[in-house]
Each structure stands twice: as structure tokens, then as C-alpha cells.
Amino acid sequence: MAIGAKHGEDPLARLWSRYSSWHRLLRGVSWIRRFLYWRQMGGPRQVDKSKLRVSELRGSRAAVLGCVQREYYEPEIKDLKEQGALRKMSPLFPLEMHLGEDGLLCAGGRLEKAPLMTDSKYPVLLSRDHHVTELIVRETHENKPGHSGREHTLAVMRQEFWVPKGRRLIYRVLKRCLVCRRVSWKESLQRQANLPADRVCVVKALFTHTGVDCFGPFIAKQGRKRVKRWGCLFTCLNSRAIHLEILDGLDADSFLNAITHFSARRGVPECIRSDNGTNMIRANKELWATVLSYKKNDKVHNALLRKGIE
């Protein structure tokens, strides 16, 4: 029994649960196998601490996958070793299973003559309910496709492994992936208010109700120098027709000049809606001051006329 395993607890299940990465699991099993090899060979007390070799990682991969398969497919492995074929009542019979060179249960197919690697021709069979299979799916999803979708992850994983009903497992892994959840997060939609009367009322002339906004800047050539110019967009709130004017700057004077040109061309609108830019607020104040001054002068003039008539 492994060190630290409780009575009645499977030591391999405890070993699998200690790792959250397929690569780290292979490295951990490789160090354990190296230690056991030195113990069996009667080597020195200190284990070789050099870097792990590729052959050791491959051996650990075959050992881990063999343990996973014996846990779920022990009858099928026994039938293949004794009879050389599976029973027709076995759920794995349609997959044309056979034992590979390293003793692993592999799925067959029609790719024997294809110029592919052996793992791609005959992927290793794994159960979707095992923790090791989930580690493999997570490693494939995060490192190889780079957090791709379910179908791409499944296609990349099937180049080495065959997992029956693997889409359910991939969906469960992708649902727990923090990066995918952050990228594909659905933004909250706020309920929008009713449209104002300016947008829905029928008017006789265009630009009776107008919206305005500025955009830019753009680099323009004036003589031998380059200057910045902005655009002023007027849009009809009913028909969505547009009218463009050029602004020399983002100050209130340039905006007032644009309104003057627009009014001379399209007529004076009844109301103008904007995003309350600083130049627009200043222009609004100046326009109201001009209107009030005209009204005041009209009152004085009318009073003088009444006195003259009397």
C-alpha cells in the first residue's frame, strides 16, 4: 500500500487525485518509477536527480493509461488476450478494439494505410468518468488548441485518445475553465426606455427633429501646413437622413457656425438633441441669451410705440 493511503482506499485513486495537470502527473509518476527501479536494482541510496528522459515519460504514460483501462475495461482486455477478439455483446465491439504494442486498448478504424502516426490511426481508449481523462482533456484544451471550442478540442484529443461520449466531458471541462468563461461571458442587457416623441411623431419636413454629434479629428492640408479638422453630423430623428458640416475646432464658435450653415440649408429645426458636449452646452447658452435679448428689445420697442400712439 502506498504511503499515506488509508485502509480500504485505492492508492492509485489517491495518487490521481493529488494532481490537477496531466503533465505534472506524468512527471510525478516518472519520479516514482525511477525510485522503484533503483530500489529493485539495489542501487545507491540517493536516487539519480538528473532531468527526466523522454523514454521515462513515455513509459509513465503507458503505465498510467494501462491502470485507467484496467479499472474500467478489465473484461475486454482479458477477452482480447485470451480469444483475440471481443464478444458481440460488448459495448466496445463496434469500435474494433485491439491491443497495441504497449499493451493498451486501442480503437480501430479505416486509417491503416494513411500516412499518420500510430496514435492517430489507433487512438487509446479511455473512460470519460475517470479523473485522468479529465486531466487529459484539460491539458488538450488549454495548451494545444488554445482554449478553443468543444468540437476543436474533441478533434485534437482524438488524435491520441478515444473517449466514448467525450463531448459531455469536454463540455463539463469548458464550463469550469475560467479563461473561457471570462471570454464568452454574456454582458448584462439593461431594459431600454421608451423612445421620445421626437423619434416616433410624423413630421412634414426633414430635420424638424434633429440629433447632432461631432467626430474626428482629421488631418487636412491648408497651404503648406497641416491642420486638424472635425466633422459635425446632423441626423433627422424620423427619417435618419444625415447632413455633414466641417468644424475648424471643437469650440462653441465653430459649432455655432455649423448650426448656422445647417439651418440655412435645411431649415431651422424645432429641437436638437446632443450628448451634452462642452461646446454644445456653451452654444446652447449663447443661443438662449441671443433669443432673450431679442425678446427684451421687442418689448421695449413695443412699449415705445404704444406711448407714441397714445
Residue-wise pLDDT tens digits, 60-102: 888 999 888 888 888 888 888 888 888 888 888 888 888 888 8
Residue 135 CB-half CA count within 13 A: 18
C-alpha 25/C-alpha 42 separation (Å) is 26
Spatial neighbors of 88 by CB under 8 A, at least 6 apart, are none
CATH number for the domain whose boundaries are 11-183? 1.10.340.70
Judge residue 97's burial from the number of C-beta atoms within 10 Å of its C-beta, 0-12 exposed, 13-18 middle, 19 or more buried: buried
Least confident of 90-94, 142-146, 183-187: 183-187
In the predicted structure, residue 179 carries a pLDDT above the cut 70: yes
187 or 219: whose pLDDT is higher? 219
Mean pLDDT of the chain: 84
User: In the prediction, which pLDDT does 3 show?
Assistant: 45
pLDDT tens figures, 12-69: 888 888 888 888 999 988 888 888 887 777 666 566 677 888 888 888 888 999 888 8
pTM passes above 0.85:
no
Measuring CA to CA, which residue among 105, 111, 110, 104 is closest to residue 91? 105
- CATH entry, 197-307, from 3.40.920.10, 3.30.420.10, 3.40.50.800, 3.40.50.1010: 3.30.420.10
DSSP H or E run through 275: none
213 or 118: whose pLDDT is higher? 213
Residue 188 is given by DSSP the state: P
Residues of the chain with CATH 1.10.340.70: 11-183
The residue to which cell 515519460 is assigned: 57
Residues of the chain with CATH 3.30.420.10: 197-307
